[in-house]
Each structure stands twice: as C-alpha cells, then as structure tokens.
Amino acid sequence: MSDYTGPGVYILVSVATGTIINLSGANPANKTPVIGFTNDSAPNAQWQIADAGNGQYLIINVATGTYLTGSGGANGATTGNLISPTDKTVRYTIVPAGNGAYIFYNVAFPASVLNLSGASAALGTPVLLWPESAGAKNEQWYIKYPA
C-alpha cells in the first residue's frame, strides 16, 4: 500500500520487484540515468512530488534538485535533468492503479508511463517511459514515506 496523500517527499517502490526509483550515483549532471535500486531511503532515492497545477506534478530528486525527465521520448530512458519545470517531459499525472499503487503518465507522452524495464529486480535496471500495458506490475508504483 501507498502512503501518498499529495505533494511531499517519498520513495517510489516498484510493485513488480520492490526495488525503488533511484538517481544513479546521486549525480547532479543532466542526463544522469534513473534506475531501479535497493529499497533504501538515501537522498538520491527520495523524490519530492510537487504540484505543478492542472492535475500535473513534478518529480524532483531530493539529493540533486533535478527533475525525473522523459528524456528518451515515448519509448526510452528517463534521466535526471535541470530544465524548465514548464517542459512537459518533466511533468506527470498520477493515477491510482486500484491496488494501492499508482501509475505515472508523462505529460509530453500521455500514452507512456514510468516502467521498470523488463520487470527486472537487477540493480541498475533502467526506469523507462513506455507505452502503457494495462495491469503490468512494472508500471505500478507504491508511493511510500522514506524510512
């Protein structure tokens, strides 16, 4: 189950694997990969969900202040970037999956969602934007408070 009650600082836990969305190496450089990693509460594993208006949200890494960005397009990698918060690639809608988890739809690519590649639990697995596959557990995320 999720702890999500609205904007705040959270970790994003894959329903499929229990791994979390992590900014690789807490690197503040643009195009730093966003990956699945050990479920911990390190600052690079924490994300501020901020209200951007119109039912849209920004997902900002606590360690670096970079945005979780759909930089690889509708079928590609996500990265951490310092770009304008008005850029649609850094904006998401957050929709309940019906099981206590949520699905994150990218505003720039509205048919694409945050996806843990191949539902792999391997550390360093890329987090992608990928066209939604209804019911896929690797596209569903528990939004939890950091420990």
Task: Give 147's pLDDT tier (boundaries 50, 70, 90).
Answer: confident
Question: Residue 38 is encoded by which pair of tokens?
Answer: 């050990």
Give the global pTM. Answer: 0.97
What does the pLDDT look like over 93-143, one tens digit per residue? Answer: 999 999 999 999 999 999 999 999 999 999 999 999 999 999 999 999 999
Q: Where are the domains of the chain?
A: 8-144
Q: What is the SS3 assignment for 10?
A: strand
Architecture of domain 8-144: Trefoil (2.80)
Question: Residue 18 is encoded by which pair of tokens?
Answer: 């229990």
Cβ(83)–Cβ(118) below 8 Å: no
